[in-house]
Amino acid sequence: MTVPHAADRLAPSGSWQWPIDTARYDTTRLLRPTEQDSIIELRVGDLRRLARHDPDARGWEPVRRLLRPLDDAAAALEGPLTSHRRRAMLDATAVVLLRCAETGRSYWAWNDEEWAGLLGQDQQGFRKAAPGWADDAVRPYLAAHAFLLGGFTAFYRLGSFSRLTLAWRVFGRERVDGEIRRIRSVLAGWGYRLGRDGDQMLPMVACQMLLLNRSPHLEDLSTGLFERARREQLLPAARGNTLHAMQRAVAELGFCDPPRRLASRHSPKAEGGSPAWAE
């Protein structure tokens, strides 16, 4: 087991700010006829912005107010931008624009159910909902659009979906990993297996809670959020012990109340890390 350093309990430097300011955009909920027609008339190659697309195609100007926030959300994501990831980002934007044209409503008007319908309960469900050219790498970037532009946090609807990867992209890997280390430091001091660096369960649950709270900072977590996660069953039942241990650690750091005593016979100390929930 890694011996926790006292500094690990301190907050990582740099406060994260929500990257999307909706006041900067035209958030009209219904599509204008010219917007809907333009999306439909744009060739697939142009809509996907493939290598030989026409950036001056007539259809782009009418949809600028829809395109700009999507591109800004993609630009706000952290991590190395490989050609494969850039392709997935552009295709995610194209998928959203096509769905806007199909429904006649902008993504600003979509609720959790509509976002979840586009994302699918799993990769197979996504393939059924999305165009054939949208490969599996597109779904995580769609989830980022849903989170940043639609306020989507109903991740329990998405089945096996990597919350950790999404949190890294939205909040930054260094920041997320730093907050997880703070929790591990406390749990390791109590003898929890969750405090070990090799455990995979804690990062999954911690990232779910950070995403639910729309903030990567442990200081922003509240007793009410932990209670809501249990009451609304926002995490799989098998993650209950990990959630309990996490709340204990966050309470020890002074940011919320400790949880009620577990009724389960299974101790969170026994929890290790199964990767099954992390796809």
- Here the tokens at position 177 are 């990993």
pLDDT at 15: 86
Per-residue model confidence (pLDDT) at position 198: 87
| pTM across the whole model | 0.87
- pLDDT for 202 equals 96
Give the position of tokens 């060739």.
43
pLDDT(70) > 90:
yes
- Would you state the pLDDT for residue 269? 52
Residue 179 tokens, joined: 């907050």
Give the separation between CA 106 and CA 97, rounded to whole angstroms.
8
Q: Count of residues for the chain?
A: 279
In the predicted model, what is the mean pLDDT of the chain? 90
